[in-house]
Amino acid sequence: MLVRTGGSRREFLRVGASGAVVAALGEAPATAVGAAFRAKNDRPRLALIGAGGQGSGDARSAARFGDFVAVADVDKSHAEKAKDSDRIGKGKAEAYGDYRKVLERNDVDAVIIGTPDHWHTKICIDAMNAGKDVYCEKPLTLTIDEGKKLREAVEKTKKVLQVGTQQRSDHNKVFLLAVALVRSGRIGKIKKVTAAIGGGPVGGPFSKETPPPELNWDMWLGQAPKVDYIANRCHSEFRWWYEYSGGKLTDWGAHHVDVAHWGLGKDQTGPTTIEVERAVLPVAYKDGFATVDDRFNTVNSFVVKATFADGTPIEIRDDTENGVTFQGAGGRIFVTRDRIDLDGGAVAALYKNPLPEPLLRELRHGKPMDDHFENFFACCNDRGKPASDVWSHHRALTTCHLANIAIRLGNRKLTWDPEKEVIVGDDQANGFLSRPQRAGFEIVV
């Protein structure tokens, strides 16, 4: 259903239901590949690695297409719960504490990774080297260097790696429609894209404790520095510590900065400058590192401008409605998970001219974009490029990582060379492109 609101001078179109979006996007290509995996005797055997909140949700979605034979989690209670769940292991999957045991199994075709961010790259690479296709949660990496390693691993192993940025295919396809409208020039030359992703919390000081018996804290920490256990460093809250994540800038930047890059057609490149308009860190920083170790340390609020060589900026900010705004010379598009607001040229164009088929084919990679897991399993069958691939995700996350580096170094302006993938003339900032990895947890392609 399309609902027109607003006055005659500036008309907005709110598209809240998938029917209208489907009509605008035309028929999705038919596929036999997704269906093949759904055939009764041809279902892939799956393993879940990281059975927390999102991993368990992912596994329930994936269970429509395959059968879980293994679940691994460094928290025994999480592994056992997923193993016994009616919608995941169905009591038939085996539970493990060490994901490497899962990767040794020849009967596992694909793994779903729902661990915290600091484990994504290593488990992805180990899994692909073990011959598995991978669906890994976003944000795929902790550093820019990890993205380069993952790219190399996908190119070397030829395995499918779908990133869990489901906005590329789910959510009533509103993001696909926004990108198709922008890329087909319906709102003219893009002057600015805003990725509004909300801010991060303040938390702590927290007390150091003995880890619970069911948790292997050393294995949870993995490549990150060995520190005393704090419950708020661990399950779910890890995203507010730079040791394990990039805070809101990567947690939600992985979604909306990704859509901004996609809409601009900048999936294979990056910005050339990063400027911080304002940023508030929750604790004092010295040389890019928090000076205390007992409270959340990722940025609370921010406005960062990442500008491409052609002068187009992506503004990443915390203080406006969550979503992506494309401001063009001839109109404006705002898109968020449940709706797309169009005005000016975009509204008229939606009715008058169908979107160009070649562009839609390119955006869809020749497959339906109804479901991120269906897209993954279709790619496992035809060895195609998934909706959210490593090359585009690495570029979007590079923008997010650079924003964090600039903020951690006192709102320093950075010049980025997207070809060489280095920060120009700044050795200290380049030191943040990778991190030391704890012995035993090194990432090797």
Ligand X SMILES: NC(=O)c1ccc[n+]([C@@H]2O[C@H](COP(=O)([O-])OP(=O)(O)OC[C@H]3O[C@@H](n4cnc5c(N)ncnc54)[C@H](O)[C@@H]3O)[C@@H](O)[C@H]2O)c1
Give me the residues that bind ligand X (CB under 6 A), please: 49-55, 72-75, 78, 99, 114-117, 119, 137-138, 164, 166, 219-220, 222, 235-236, 251
Residue 42 or 321 with smaller CB distance to ligand X: 321
CB of 117 to ligand X, least distance (A): 5
CB of 164 to ligand X, least distance (A): 4
Residue 111 or 187 with smaller CB distance to ligand X: 111
**Burial label, 378 (beta-carbon count in 10 A; 0-12, 13-18, 19+):** buried
**Which ranges in 26-52 belong to alpha helices (H)?**
33-38
CA distance 20 to 264: 24
Residue 114 or 200 with smaller CB distance to ligand X: 114
Q: How far is CA 268 from CA 258, 314, 390, 421, in A?
A: 12, 15, 10, 12
CB of 59 to ligand X, least distance (A): 11
> Judging by DSSP bridges, how do beta strands 190-196 and 323-328 pair with one another?
antiparallel
CB of 96 to ligand X, least distance (A): 8
Strand partners, 193: 314, 326
CB of 371 to ligand X, least distance (A): 13
CA distance 145 to 358: 34
Residue 8 or 210 with smaller CB distance to ligand X: 210
CB of 408 to ligand X, least distance (A): 20
Residue 68 or 308 with smaller CB distance to ligand X: 68
CA distance 89 to 79: 10
Instruction: Output the CA torsion 177→178→180→182 (10° steps).
Output: 160
Closest-approach residue to ligand X (CB): 52
**Burial label, 380 (beta-carbon count in 10 A; 0-12, 13-18, 19+):** buried
Structure tokens at 10: 């500036």
| Residue 8 CB neighbour total at 10 angstroms | 5
CB of 444 to ligand X, least distance (A): 16
CB of 236 to ligand X, least distance (A): 4
- The amino acid that residue 81 corresponds to is K
Q: Which of 61, 223, 226 is nearest to 141 (CA)?
A: 223
Which residues lie below 8 Å from residue 397, measured CB to CB, with a gap of 6+?
139, 140, 141, 144, 147, 250, 253, 254, 257, 258
Residue 166 or 194 with smaller CB distance to ligand X: 166
CB of 372 to ligand X, least distance (A): 9
Residue 377 or 416 with smaller CB distance to ligand X: 377
Residue 75 or 275 with smaller CB distance to ligand X: 75
Which residues lie below 8 Å from residue 152, measured CB to CB, with a gap of 6+?
445
CA distance 147 to 390: 8
Residue 344 or 399 with smaller CB distance to ligand X: 399
